[in-house]
Amino acid sequence: MKTRADFLRAQKGRRQSQIGLGIEVCSSPAPKPGTVRLGFTASRKVGGAVERNRAKRRLRAAAAATLPLLGREGHDYVLVARTATLSRPFAQLTQDLEKAITAAHAALDRTGARNSMEKRGG
């Protein structure tokens, strides 16, 4: 994901947070078959430019290990760095990402089921 509008749309979607990172998930506006869109962000709270870049590199590596297994096609994911992203062991960082993705998908499924019930009049 590159544009600000994509990041803002994801911000309005489902959010989950863990110790090492935060994640924002929403459905893509024009999904392409077999694709998952991904973005990374790190605010100045994480640290200076060097720390922010290192945090985003760690998030990219965790996403590369996790999203091919758990990511859903037609969805946008924004991984948000936290100060703990820098110091958390990589294995725990990937576990945090797995938990966050699983919880976000479960919440999206609940919301989707609730919306379909409302449409049917149930």
CATH for 4-110, options being 3.30.230.10, 3.90.1150.10, 3.10.20.30, 1.10.3720.10: 3.30.230.10
pTM of the complete model? 0.87
Domain boundary assignment for the chain: 4-110
Residues facing 79 on adjacent strands: 23, 40
User: What single string gives the DSSP state of each residue in 90-121?
Assistant: HHHHHHHHHHHHHHHHHHHHHHHHHHHHHHHT
How would you write the pLDDT of the chain (122 residues) with one tens digit per residue? 889 999 999 999 999 999 999 999 998 888 788 888 999 999 999 999 999 999 999 999 999 999 999 988 989 999 999 999 999 999 999 999 999 999 999 988 887 666 654 555 55
